[in-house]
């Protein structure tokens, strides 16, 4: 695989080094002693599971976050980046897909933006502007019409324009975060050609990606992070996919998870041939009292699948049935709820609760039918269901009138659960049920999930953390590019096998 | 955080300025120097304080109060009934002997009328409705029919008869006085055999832009019908000045009449352009009469004999323009 | 190795073209319609001159609004600013000040209000809505104070000539509006300042990282808009021969409408000067044409609202496509 890569140009001093980087948020360590060392003229892959600390690392390297400890060296000299512009001036540029171009102005202006725009007496020197912009595009071998509005370009062309601007600003270290996420196969080929030519010009490229096959095709060296630490840096030629996956996963266990239950054989939810945005031909069943985990990489369609089941997103083909009752073709959230399907969404703060409203109001809103009669809301009934929900779930709050925004993440999640459970759902869908929740409360949430299953509720939970999937579920489905790429009973599953499914290796 | 605080501080500052502005213009009386132990309490209000006549009325009523030793509460509504009515009602709640309404139609102050009835306080009014109503113990206004008669008379004379003439009528419906006189003018013009230009009363949407609206209406009508306009009858001077400008600019010899006798209109009449005549409404005299009615009530509870009086108006044309005190210079 | 990235051809279809050119087509359709209804009147020199005269002041205010909307904000106080400037000039001249310094002070008033708006929005981070709503309120109050609630008139003939005089039988405000429009177009098109405004309106973060002083850019856009709206207000006073606190207040709504209409003219859906002038023309042609046909002014108001809805819907459709 590595034969397509020319031998790395090794130089004595790395272009860019970061040593012993420490960064914590509210006492939680996001980085604890991370290293990264990048040479001129190499493409360096930065790998790790979700939450391993890759993006925090990128943000520290580009001046978005100030590190709490550690040193950053540029050409052997220690530097500190007060903000992104300082990092940019030092030649370090991170490119994100959406942020990088200005759609409303021309390609040439995008490349020579701001300080670089040639002008005389306040007037833009268009000829000079275009010829300099063209020089940068020539370095990338790109022929993009200079007068075209950047907003009218294809995604890969926009990426190229962002590259050209970085080059115009003398960028020597380019950090790319999932640059191929929205590109087609041919576009990816073009991108790789450009990256190789930049490498030949001595630019150092940090390549953050989940797509291991790309890493092995393109990159010279790789660094793997886990739990905020750097586990490994080595030449790609000396490594292999199995080593990378096992290093990323590590060996982590714990008694975080309650014992599994015994699912019944009664089918609670059956899904056949479901098609929709980001979801392709998905068929599966879930049983009464079962905890079904769904995994997959970001963008694999797992959240979209939950949203379709909950009626929050349309499906174009296929059927959903709760028990024996089939849902209509586009049920909408209200009818899905009536049929017994409830969703606890991923973005808790924006989709799950109203932060400024009290606990009781949040619970009442989701159960407005149950707490009102003849159009009038009954305060007593709200108190009843709120009290029940808060005690069942052990919500820690001053009173039921405390605004949800003042609660901890775990307690907010319990409020979301309480308002959904008040509807007695047959199938409870949870998207990333423990995101942003501390470890202690995580265990509580797992116990709650298990307790719900024991009473006959079917829980379908999406998680991007493989240990969590294995620990909390009875059975696991893995999605890859909208399809189910693998299924395993969690008692028999291991992370390496699931990760292989995640990367599209079908069983 | 700091940035947010400064933002809030700026907001507070702006709000404070706005409030200060309100109170300085909205304050007014309440300090009648009296002399008696319990001064006679009068609540006066107008929504039209931003018009020249309204502004005059506010000052004139304050002068009357000083003169007669009333304890006056003056409430200025800025055409905003949602703001004015509750203010007046809370003043009523604090007790008063009489209420004085200036230029505010009874249709807009239903809640004030109810509150006054409940508190058994009589409302004296001037130009607050075009027909008799129980809401007021007296409402003295001008004779709209007389006003129309004299403006149409001026046009009749200038054009040599109204029969077969193209005459545009420009009105503004939300103002009851203008609405009434515009419809009277339309009816009388039709009866006199004139042709209403455009087939119906042309309506100005906002008094704020009355002049530009009337200007555009007449200018566009004249392009469409270059010789199709003999006169424009306009319900108030500000819009009449716009109509007059359009006629002068188009080189037409059509004539315009207005109403209100603003100094600008009087100057235009004296200049001898298309502006033919306007109407002077005798507001100082009307104010004197209403004040006398209030004083009579103050003395021994005498109520006015009639609850609706329409006084005659004066036609202002080139002949007498120099002698008239403009309504904005009262 | 050469990669050939053929530019993605915009998929053109007749339907898309209609959406794209919808606003311009609407203008042409209005003109054809009114011409067909009154061929003897509508396209005569006199009437075209009428239309141009009637929209000249709106065109200037809308040009000012375009600048602010290019940087992604908007300004509710423009019409009030123009009234205050016009009233101030009228009041100063009635107080005996010669025309030139009075006009200069009027322009400075507009500039200062614009700078005030810019400071509130760009440096104190108030939302443009809140900041300009607040300044609008205060500025209207100031205009009432300046005019003492009345209409100021008897302005010098030399001043009135600015708004009413003619050159080659065409009123001066038409030339002034065209001149300002051309200057603004050139500023937006050719100067670094104009291009920075577009960059800021397109993506604040990228602009900032590219060394553009975003705050100063927004401040300058508001300041320029204040100054230009002062020009409009002074011209309106000269055109009417009078100054009042409320005259020209309808220009606020119409200026925003014109810019929105203009945003539908170009493909990227940005505020742009040419489009704004198309929007101004639609508003002017519609009002004049409906007047000529003798349509009730209340109906005209309804139609104006519907046209704005249509414009915003059209630009919304396009944004979704992209």
- Residue C55 · residue C248 · CB < 8 Å: no
Integer Cα distance of A127 and B202 in angstroms:
57
Tens digit of pLDDT for each residue in C134-170?
Answer: 999 999 999 988 988 778 888 888 898 998 888 898 8
The string of DSSP codes covering B90-118 is HHHHT--SEEEEES--GGG-HHHHHHHHH
Asked if residue A345 belongs to a domain, the reply is: no
Integer Cα distance of B63 and B149 in angstroms:
34
Distant-in-sequence, close-in-space partners of A229: CB < 8 Å, separation ≥ 6: A31, A32, A33, A34, A53
Asked if residue A346 belongs to a domain, the reply is: no
Q: What is the DSSP letter of A101?
A: -
Asked if residue B184 belongs to a domain, the reply is: yes
Integer Cα distance of A88 and A62 in angstroms:
8
Going by pLDDT thresholds of 50, 70 and 90, the confidence category of residue C273 is very high
When CB atoms are compared, the residue of C3, C203, C267 closest to A141 is C3
- By the 10 Å C-beta count (0-12 exposed, 13-18 middle, 19+ buried), C168 is classed as exposed
Integer Cα distance of A197 and C255 in angstroms:
51
Q: Which of C10, C204, C209 to mutate to test the interface with A (most CBs of A within 10 A)?
A: C209
- Residues of A in Cβ contact (< 8 Å) with C193: 122
- Which of A392, A424, A456 is the last residue before a domain boundary? A424
When CB atoms are compared, the residue of C10, C198, C199 closest to A152 is C10
| Total length of chain B | 330
- Which of A232, A249, A266 is the last residue before a domain boundary? A249
| Chain B (5-24) residues lying within 8 Å, Cβ to Cβ, of chain C | 6-7, 10-11, 14-15, 17-18, 21
When CB atoms are compared, the residue of C4, C10, C206 closest to A100 is C206
- Residues A379 and A280 placed together within one structural domain of the fold: no
Asked if residue C30 belongs to a domain, the reply is: no
Q: How many CB pairs under 8 A join A and C?
A: 101
What pLDDT, on a 0 to 100 scale, did the predictor assign at position A48?
Answer: 82
- Residues B322 and B212 placed together within one structural domain of the fold: yes
Q: What is the DSSP letter of C191?
A: B
What pLDDT, on a 0 to 100 scale, did the predictor assign at position A436?
Answer: 67
- Residues A260 and A373 placed together within one structural domain of the fold: no
Integer Cα distance of B77 and B49 in angstroms:
7
Measured CA distances, C302 to B173, C296, C305 (Å): 17, 10, 5
What's the gap in Å between the CA of C46 and the closest CA on chain A?
Answer: 39
Share of chain A above pLDDT 70, in %: 92
When CB atoms are compared, the residue of C50, C124, C236 closest to B219 is C50
- Residues B268 and B160 placed together within one structural domain of the fold: yes
- Residues B207 and B98 placed together within one structural domain of the fold: no
- Residues B176 and B218 placed together within one structural domain of the fold: yes
Q: Tell whether C318 is within 8 A of chain A (Cβ).
A: no
Tens digit of pLDDT for each residue in C233-246?
Answer: 999 999 888 888 88
Tens digit of pLDDT for each residue in A329-379?
Answer: 877 888 888 888 988 887 776 777 788 888 888 888 777 777 777 777 788
Record: contact C203-A99, CB cut-off 8 A = yes
Record: contact C5-A143, CB cut-off 8 A = yes
What's the gap in Å between the CA of C5 and the closest CA on chain B?
Answer: 46
- Residue A422 · residue A362 · CB < 8 Å: no
Chains B and A contact (Cβ–Cβ under 8 Å for 3 or more pairs): no
Q: Specify the residue for token string 């940068």.
A: A136
- Residues B68 and B209 placed together within one structural domain of the fold: no
β-strand C170-171 against C166-167: which pairing, if any? antiparallel
Q: Specify the residue for token string 């016009």.
A: C86
- Residues of B in Cβ contact (< 8 Å) with C41: 223-224
Q: Is the pTM of this model over 0.80?
A: no
Asked if residue A348 belongs to a domain, the reply is: no
What residues are paired with B46 via a beta bridge?
B76, B102
- Residues B107 and B227 placed together within one structural domain of the fold: no
- Residues of A in Cβ contact (< 8 Å) with C12: none
Mean pLDDT of all residues in A154-166:
85
Q: How many CB pairs under 8 A join B and C?
A: 112
Range of the domain at B225: 144-281+316-329
Range of the domain at A377: 361-424
How many CB atoms are closer than 10 A to CB B8? 11
Asked if residue A351 belongs to a domain, the reply is: no
Q: Poorest-confidence range of A229-243, A267-281, B214-228?
A: A229-243
- Residues A284 and A302 placed together within one structural domain of the fold: yes
- Residues of C in Cβ contact (< 8 Å) with A154: 5, 8
Record: contact A142-C1, CB cut-off 8 A = no
End-to-end CA distance of chain A: 23
- Residues B88 and B236 placed together within one structural domain of the fold: no
Going by pLDDT thresholds of 50, 70 and 90, the confidence category of residue A416 is confident
Tokens of A3: 């034969």
When CB atoms are compared, the residue of C193, C207, C211 closest to A102 is C207
* SS3 category, A50: coil
- Residues A118 and A206 placed together within one structural domain of the fold: yes
- Residues of C in Cβ contact (< 8 Å) with A122: 191-193
CATH of the domain at A55: 3.40.50.300
Asked if residue B37 belongs to a domain, the reply is: yes
Nearest chain A residue (CA) to C201:
A104
What's the gap in Å between the CA of A128 and the closest CA on chain C?
Answer: 13
Of the ranges A144-158, A350-364, C186-200, which is most confident? C186-200
When CB atoms are compared, the residue of B7, B52, B209 closest to C149 is B52
- Residue A248 · residue A47 · CB < 8 Å: yes
Integer Cα distance of A370 and C292 in angstroms:
60
* SS3 category, C159: helix
- Residues of B in Cβ contact (< 8 Å) with C240: 211-212, 215, 242, 245
CATH of the domain at B82: 3.40.50.2300
Record: contact C298-B242, CB cut-off 8 A = no
Residue A427 has pLDDT above 90, yes or no: yes
- Which of A206, A231, A249 is the last residue before a domain boundary? A249
* SS3 category, C203: coil
| Total length of chain A | 507
Pick the residue with more confidence: A422 or A28? A422
What pLDDT, on a 0 to 100 scale, did the predictor assign at position A170?
Answer: 85
The string of DSSP codes covering B190-251 is HHTT-EETTSS-EE-S-GGGHHHHHHHHHHHHHHHSTT--SEEEESSHHHHHHHHHHHHHHT
End-to-end CA distance of chain C: 32
> Subunits with at least 3 CB pairs below 8 A relative to chain A?
C
Residue A240 has pLDDT above 90, yes or no: no
Q: Tell whether B322 is within 8 A of chain C (Cβ).
A: no
Range of the domain at C222: 42-247
- Residues A103 and A18 placed together within one structural domain of the fold: yes
Asked if residue C116 belongs to a domain, the reply is: yes
- Residues B287 and B190 placed together within one structural domain of the fold: no
Number of compact structural domains in chain A: 3
Q: Specify the residue for token string 């209406």.
A: B217
Nearest chain A residue (CA) to C270:
A104
Asked if residue C270 belongs to a domain, the reply is: no
What pLDDT, on a 0 to 100 scale, did the predictor assign at position B19?
Answer: 46
* SS3 category, C19: helix
- Residues A167 and A221 placed together within one structural domain of the fold: yes
- Residues B249 and B297 placed together within one structural domain of the fold: no
β-strand A173-177 against A204-208: which pairing, if any? parallel
- Residues B268 and B289 placed together within one structural domain of the fold: no
Planar angle of CA A378, A382, A388, nearest 5 degrees: 145
Record: contact B50-C149, CB cut-off 8 A = yes
Asked if residue B239 belongs to a domain, the reply is: yes
Q: What is the 3-state secondary structure (H, E, C) of A361-404?
A: HHHHHHCCCCCEECCEECHHHHHHHHHHHHHHHCCCCCCCCCEH
Pick the residue with more confidence: B163 or B82? B163
- Residues B171 and B109 placed together within one structural domain of the fold: no
Phi, psi (degrees; rounded to nearest 5) at A499: -65, -40
Residue B274 has pLDDT above 60, yes or no: yes
- Residues A208 and A256 placed together within one structural domain of the fold: no
What's the gap in Å between the CA of C270 and the closest CA on chain A?
Answer: 7
Planar angle of CA A439, A498, A305, nearest 5 degrees: 80
Q: Specify the residue for token string 């207040």.
A: C249
Over its C-alpha atoms, chain C yields an Rg (Å, rounded) of 21
Asked if residue C140 belongs to a domain, the reply is: yes
Q: Tell whether B228 is within 8 A of chain C (Cβ).
A: no
What's the gap in Å between the CA of A172 and the closest CA on chain C?
Answer: 16
Integer Cα distance of B197 and A268 in angstroms:
77
Number of compact structural domains in chain B: 2
Residue B12 has pLDDT above 70, yes or no: no
């Amino acid at each position: 695989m590595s034969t397509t890569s020319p031998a790395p140009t090794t130089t004595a001093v790395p272009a860019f080094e970061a040593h012993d980087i420490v960064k914590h948020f509210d006492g939680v360590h996001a980085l604890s002693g991370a290293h990264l060392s990048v040479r001129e003229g190499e493409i360096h892959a930065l790998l790790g599971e979700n939450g391993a600390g890759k993006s925090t690392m990128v943000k520290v390297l580009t001046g978005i976050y100030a590190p709490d400890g550690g040193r950053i060296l540029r050409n052997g000299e220690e530097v500190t980046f007060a903000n992104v512009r300082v990092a940019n001036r030092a030649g370090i540029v991170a490119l994100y897909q959406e942020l990088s171009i200005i759609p409303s102005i021309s390609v040439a202006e995008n490349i020579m933006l701001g300080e670089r725009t040639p002008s005389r007496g306040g007037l833009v020197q268009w000829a000079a502007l275009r010829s300099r912009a063209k020089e940068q595009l020539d370095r990338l071998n790109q022929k993009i019409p200079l007068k075209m509005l950047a907003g009218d370009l294809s995604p890969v062309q926009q990426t190229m324009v962002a590259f050209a601007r970085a080059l115009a600003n003398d960028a020597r270290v380019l950090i790319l975060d999932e640059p191929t996420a929205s590109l087609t196969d041919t576009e990816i080929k073009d991108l790789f050609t450009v990256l190789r030519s930049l490498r030949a010009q001595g630019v150092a490229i940090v390549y953050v990606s989940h797509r291991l096959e790309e890493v092995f095709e393109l990159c010279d060296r790789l660094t793997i992070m886990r739990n905020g630490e750097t586990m490994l840096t080595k030449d790609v030629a000396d490594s292999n996919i199995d080593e990378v996956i096992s290093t990323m996963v590590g060996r982590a266990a714990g008694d975080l998870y309650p014992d599994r239950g015994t699912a019944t054989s009664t089918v609670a939810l059956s899904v056949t041939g479901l098609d929709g945005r980001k979801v392709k031909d998905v068929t599966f069943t879930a049983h009464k009292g079962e905890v079904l985990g769904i995994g997959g990489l970001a963008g694999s369609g797992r959240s979209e699948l939950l949203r379709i089941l909950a009626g929050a997103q349309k499906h174009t083909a296929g059927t959903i049935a709760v028990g024996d009752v089939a849902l209509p073709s586009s049920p909408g959230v209200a009818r899905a709820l009536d049929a017994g399907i409830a969703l606890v969404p991923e973005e808790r703060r924006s989709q799950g609760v109203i932060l400024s409203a009290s606990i009781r109001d949040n619970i009442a809103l989701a159960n407005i039918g149950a707490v009102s009669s003849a159009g009038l809301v009954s305060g007593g009934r709200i108190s009843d269901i709120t009290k029940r929900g808060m005690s069942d779930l052990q919500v820690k709050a001053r009173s039921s009138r405390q605004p949800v925004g003042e609660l901890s993440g775990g307690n907010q999640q319990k409020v979301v659960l309480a308002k959904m459970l008040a509807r007695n759902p047959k199938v409870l869908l949870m998207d990333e049920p423990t995101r942003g929740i501390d470890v202690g409360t995580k265990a509580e949430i797992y116990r709650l999930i298990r307790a719900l299953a024991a009473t006959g509720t079917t829980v379908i939970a999406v998680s991007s953390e493989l240990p969590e999937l294995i620990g909390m579920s009875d059975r696991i489905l893995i999605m890859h590019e909208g399809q189910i790429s693998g299924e395993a009973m969690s008692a028999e599953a291991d992370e390496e096998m699931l990760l292989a499914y995640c990367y599209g290796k079908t069983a | 955080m700091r940035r947010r605080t400064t933002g809030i501080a700026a907001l507070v500052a702006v709000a404070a300025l706005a409030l200060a502005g309100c109170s300085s213009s909205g304050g007014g009386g309440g300090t009648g120097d009296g002399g008696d132990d319990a001064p006679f309490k009068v609540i006066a209000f107008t929504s039209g304080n931003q018009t020249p006549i309204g502004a005059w009325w506010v000052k004139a009523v304050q002068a009357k109060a000083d003169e007669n030793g009333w304890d006056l509460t003056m409430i200025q509504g800025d055409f905003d009934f949602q703001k004015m009515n509750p203010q007046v009602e809370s003043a009523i709640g604090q007790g008063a002997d009489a209420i004085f309404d200036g230029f505010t139609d009874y249709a807009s102050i239903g809640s004030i009328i109810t509150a006054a009835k409940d508190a058994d306080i009589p409302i004296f009014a001037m130009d607050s409705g075009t027909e008799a109503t129980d809401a007021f113990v007296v409402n003295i206004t001008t004779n709209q029919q007389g006003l129309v008669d004299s403006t149409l008379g001026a046009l009749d004379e200038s054009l040599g008869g109204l029969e077969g003439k193209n005459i545009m009528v420009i009105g503004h419906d939300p103002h009851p006085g203008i609405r009434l006189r515009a419809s009277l003018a339309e009816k009388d013009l039709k009866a006199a055999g004139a042709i209403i230009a455009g087939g119906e009363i042309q309506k100005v949407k906002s008094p704020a832009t009355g002049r530009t609206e009337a200007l555009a209406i007449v200018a566009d009508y004249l392009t469409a019908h270059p010789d199709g306009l003999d006169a424009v009858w306009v319900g108030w001077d500000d819009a009449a000045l716009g109509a007059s400008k359009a006629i002068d600019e188009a080189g037409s010899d059509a004539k315009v009449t207005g109403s209100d006798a603003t100094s600008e209109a009087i100057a235009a009449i004296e200049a001898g352009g298309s502006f033919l005549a306007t109407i002077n409404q005798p507001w100082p005299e009307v104010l004197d009469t209403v004040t006398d009615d209030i004083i009579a009530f103050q003395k021994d509870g005498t109520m006015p004999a009639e609850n609706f009086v329409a006084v005659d108006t004066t036609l202002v044309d080139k002949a007498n323009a120099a002698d008239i005190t403009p309504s904005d210079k009262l | 190795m050469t990669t050939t990235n053929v530019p993605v051809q915009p998929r053109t279809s007749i339907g898309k073209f209609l959406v794209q050119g919808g606003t311009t087509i609407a203008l042409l359709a209005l003109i054809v319609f009114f011409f067909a209804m009154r061929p003897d009147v509508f396209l005569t020199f006199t009437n075209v001159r009428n239309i141009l005269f009637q929209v000249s002041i709106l065109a200037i205010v809308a040009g000012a609004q375009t600048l602010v909307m290019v940087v992604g904000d908007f300004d509710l106080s423009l019409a009030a600013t123009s009234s205050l400037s016009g009233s101030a000039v009228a009041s100063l001249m009635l107080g005996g000040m010669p025309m030139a310094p009075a006009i200069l002070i009027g322009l400075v008033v507009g500039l200062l209000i614009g700078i005030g708006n810019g400071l509130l929005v760009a440096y104190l981070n108030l939302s443009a809505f809140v900041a300009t709503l607040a300044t609008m309120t205060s500025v209207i109050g100031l205009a009432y104070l300046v005019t003492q609630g009345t209409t100021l008139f008897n302005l010098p003939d030399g001043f009135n000539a600015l708004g009413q005089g003619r050159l080659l039988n065409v009123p001066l405000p038409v030339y002034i509006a065209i001149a300002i429009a051309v200057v603004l177009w050139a500023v937006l098109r050719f100067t670094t300042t104009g291009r920075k405004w577009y960059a800021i309106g397109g993506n604040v973060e990228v602009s900032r990282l590219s060394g553009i002083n975003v705050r100063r850019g927004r401040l300058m856009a508001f300041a320029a808009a204040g100054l230009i709206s002062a020009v409009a207000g002074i011209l309106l006073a000269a055109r009417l021969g009078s100054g009042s606190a409320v005259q020209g207040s309808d220009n606020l709504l119409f200026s925003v409408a014109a810019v929105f209409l203009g945003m539908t003219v170009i493909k990227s859906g940005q505020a742009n000067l040419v489009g704004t002038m198309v929007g101004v023309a639609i508003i002017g042609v519609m009002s004049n044409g409906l007047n000529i046909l003798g349509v009730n002014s209340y109906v005209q108001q309804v139609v104006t609202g519907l046209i704005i809805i249509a414009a915003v819907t059209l630009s919304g459709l396009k944004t979704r496509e992209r």
